[in-house]
Structure 1
């Protein structure tokens, strides 16, 4: 029995995080290009900004979820800045949804508090699904294919197969 081919493994790696005694978080990378490669951005400044944005979005629970954020960037492998922003948003939305679920299960605040948390969780869930669709749609634009099922060319006719674009200005007869 043959094994199915495995997808090539990414060379992207997640940075490490260090928290000082006074609570300051440092992002430790293997080199200056690690964040740029992680997020698939063209510039280090964009990648650093995305990492800072992600850490801020995680808020107080950031220490609990920061490794998840970096690992999801490795897993999803963003190809450009748009995808990187979506990955950051998706990780923050997922984290917020998990936090709402935890609060909902732990609440002793009564029906109204539980109902409010449930509504927030539902909204976050819908937002997360919309983010997944946006990522899929963005990626699909780069991979559009046209499949021709059947072409019939009569005697004397011609068929053109390929990407056809009209260039230049149209000729107008006077």
Structure 2
């Protein structure tokens, strides 16, 4: 499968006989896209070079940025890394996610990296979970592809089971991320309050000590 990347706007282009006039909806969507891009962190991509060393395939990773030192700092900020060791381990983990056989696919690695950065991790735990989520997502898509290419019902059912397990794992990861970001915060929502004659309603945060119901609650 060949994926055609989003084309970059050329500085100069040949005039078109009948240029397309964007509709109002297209213009609004384009403006929303630009606004969303401007609110995201700058994230350089990674370059992957494959080489041979003693009969082994070696993948070399390098940041694709005019100033490599700045590029790695931008990556560290984007993945919530506190140090270079964690950043190097994160990039190595993403390379494993993008590895097929003994080849690390550059496009898949940058796609996985974009998923992690898209979560806007605030610390290294969120970044690690993001890497795992990227791995599960890519594995899910590969299982879906294998299921579609299966030649027998046995193989199709095997890939379908794997697809279902991976999909459930991804949902569980999303819930884990939500719980971690909430930091255990609990909220109580009162849908209706009845006040008897002579009673008094209290609006605000009410704390009960020891978990024992108050007399008026019984």
TM-score (norm 2): 0.58
- Deviation string 1:65-94 (CA, Å, 9 cap, x unpaired) is 112111112211111011001110000000
Structure showing greater Rg:
2
Aligned to 2:136: 93
Write the mapping of 1:23-34 to structure 2, written as runs, cut at 5 A.
24-30=59-65, 31=70, 32-34=72-74
1:59 aligned to 2:102? Answer: no
Q: Shift in Å at residue 54 of structure 1?
A: 2.0
Q: Shift in Å at residue 131 of structure 1?
A: 0.6
1:76 aligned to 2:115? Answer: no
1:145 and 1:112 map into 2 onto residues whose CA distance is 46
Could you tell which deviates more after superposition, 83-92 or 68-77? 68-77
> Is the 8 Å Cα contact of residues 47 and 62 (structure 2) preserved in structure 1?
yes
- Deviation string 1:107-146 (CA, Å, 9 cap, x unpaired) is 21x111111111011110011111111111111118x486
1:136 aligned to 2:178? Answer: yes
From 121, 134, 145, give the equivalent of 2:163: 121
> Is the 8 Å Cα contact of residues 97 and 112 (structure 2) preserved in structure 1?
no
2:42 and 2:83 map into 1 onto residues whose CA distance is 16
Report the secondary structure of 1:74's partner residue: helix
> Is the 8 Å Cα contact of residues 18 and 27 (structure 1) preserved in structure 2?
yes
> Is the 8 Å Cα contact of residues 10 and 74 (structure 1) preserved in structure 2?
no
Q: CA RMSD in A?
A: 3.2
Q: Shift in Å at residue 57 of structure 1?
A: 3.1
Aligned to 1:16: 46
Aligned to 1:107: 150
Report the secondary structure of 1:13's partner residue: coil
Aligned to 1:165: none
- Deviation string 1:18-71 (CA, Å, 9 cap, x unpaired) is 324556342315423133112112112111101101211333174141121111
- Relative to its length, the structure with more strand (as a share) is 2
Could you tell which deviates more after superposition, 9-18 or 33-42? 9-18
How many equivalent pairs are there?
Answer: 150
